[in-house]
């Protein structure tokens, strides 16, 4: 009887403890929910809602008072206003534009950078049409400015070319062959721009090579002045060339040089071998055809090892490159 009573008391105690454990667990869960609620409420309080700019600031922008508008927008209390970043970038760009335009010298790229910070696809404020119109007009003016600079540069280049031509002509006519380095330096940056500069450069370099007793380079530069050249200095150049060898010899040299240049261009256009190329593509690559081919045929296919100089190898499986050893 005592044993039964003891067991009953023990089981009752466990049940009570178990119940207490559940209550405690519920309290912990409630506490967690409460913590989340408090954190959410704090987050709401620390993230202020977007405000609207006061009408007087909007009026400054509307009336194009850019300096006053920029000064107003730099006020801390407005920095959380709706569309603040877009409007500030616009006002800042307009202020820079009118300020610099008054000096007669506009730095277009910094202003464009500020305008590009405005995402017109996302921005739908009251000034969207105005910003779009100004940005388009600004870009048109900017491109026109660069076109004008390009034209001025071309004109300056033409004037510089006339000066070079006159100086070169004086040297030739006076028989002054002691200093062609200045002519070569002055024309080297223009050899891809116009034929006349290129021909003058080649002739100047030929004479410098002659002074250095490098006849091979002298001939190379003179070959690059074709016999059918009929520019401003053709008489002088042809007279010099024909004093060295006949017209037929120069034409042969030209043909050889042209063929050599063509071969170099073809070679430079070739690709290096690559994984996945066919055998034909490899032969047309920079490596070309192999010196030897080791071929193994099994029931799984054809395996080839192409052997090149300097311990280079290409491996093909059924005619397709699978590995390259360089």
| Nearest one of 56, 58, 52 to 82, comparing CA atoms | 52
| Whole-number Å distance between alpha carbons of 155 and 163 | 13
- In 3-state terms, what secondary structure has residue 114? helix
Instruction: With beta carbons less than 8 A apart as the criterion, state whether 241 and 222 touch.
Output: yes
Residue 31 has pLDDT above 50, yes or no: no
Q: Which pLDDT does position 163 carry in this prediction?
A: 77
Q: Sign of torsion, CA 94 95 98 103?
A: negative
- In 3-state terms, what secondary structure has residue 228? coil
Segment 72-82 shows an average pLDDT of 89
What is the CA 191 to chain-centroid distance, rounded?
25
Instruction: Give the residue ranges of DSSP H helices in the chain.
Output: 2-46, 55-62, 66-73, 84-103, 108-116, 128-174, 181-188, 195-211, 215-223, 234-242, 247-269, 279-283
What are the residues facing 320 on neighbouring strands? 278, 317
Segment 56-65 shows an average pLDDT of 93
For the record, the structure tokens of 117 come out as 């910070």
Q: Which pLDDT does position 314 carry in this prediction?
A: 96
- Reported as a pLDDT band with limits 50, 70 and 90, residue 3 is very low
| Whole-number Å distance between alpha carbons of 135 and 111 | 10
| Whole-number Å distance between alpha carbons of 212 and 305 | 50
- Reported as a pLDDT band with limits 50, 70 and 90, residue 32 is very low
| Whole-number Å distance between alpha carbons of 137 and 43 | 44
Q: Which pLDDT does position 1 carry in this prediction?
A: 47
Mean pLDDT of the chain: 82
Residue 28 has pLDDT above 80, yes or no: no
Segment 278-284 shows an average pLDDT of 94
- Reported as a pLDDT band with limits 50, 70 and 90, residue 81 is confident
Residue 59 has pLDDT above 50, yes or no: yes
For the record, the structure tokens of 104 come out as 């007669």
Q: Which pLDDT does position 67 carry in this prediction?
A: 93
The set of residues, in sequence order, having a beta carbon less than 8 Å from that of 181 and lying 6+ positions away, is 204, 208
């Amino acid at each position: 009887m005592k044993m039964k009573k003891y067991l009953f008391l023990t089981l009752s105690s466990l049940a009570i403890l178990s119940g207490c454990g559940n209550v405690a667990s519920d309290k912990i869960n409630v506490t967690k929910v409460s913590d989340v609620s408090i954190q959410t409420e704090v987050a709401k309080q620390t993230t202020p809602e977007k405000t609207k700019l006061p009408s007087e600031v909007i009026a400054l922008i509307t009336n194009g008072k850019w300096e006053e508008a920029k000064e107003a927008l730099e006020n801390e209390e407005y920095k959380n206003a709706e569309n603040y970043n877009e409007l500030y970038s616009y006002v800042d760009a307009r202020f820079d534009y009118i300020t610099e335009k008054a000096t007669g010298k506009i730095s277009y790229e910094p202003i464009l950078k500020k305008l590009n910070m405005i995402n017109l696809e996302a921005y739908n404020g009251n000034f969207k049409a105005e910003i779009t119109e100004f940005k388009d007009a600004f870009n048109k003016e900017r491109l026109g400015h660069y076109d004008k600079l390009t034209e001025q540069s071309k004109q300056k280049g033409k004037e510089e070319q006339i000066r070079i031509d006159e100086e070169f002509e004086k040297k030739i006519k006076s028989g002054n062959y002691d200093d062609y380095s200045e002519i070569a330096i002055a024309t080297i940056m223009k050899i891809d721009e116009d034929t006349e500069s290129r021909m003058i450069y080649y002739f100047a370099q030929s004479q410098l090579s002659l002074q250095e007793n490098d006849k091979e380079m002298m001939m190379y530069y003179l070959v690059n002045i074709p016999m059918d050249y009929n520019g401003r200095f053709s008489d002088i150049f042809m007279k010099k060339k024909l004093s060295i060898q006949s017209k037929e010899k120069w034409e042969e040299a030209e043909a050889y040089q042209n063929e050599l240049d063509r071969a170099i261009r073809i070679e430079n256009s070739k690709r290096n071998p690559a994984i996945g190329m066919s055998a034909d593509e490899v032969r047309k690559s920079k490596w070309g055809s192999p010196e030897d081919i080791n071929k193994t045929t099994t029931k799984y296919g054809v395996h080839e090892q192409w052997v090149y100089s300097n311990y280079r190898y290409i491996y093909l499986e059924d005619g397709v490159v699978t590995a390259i050893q360089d």
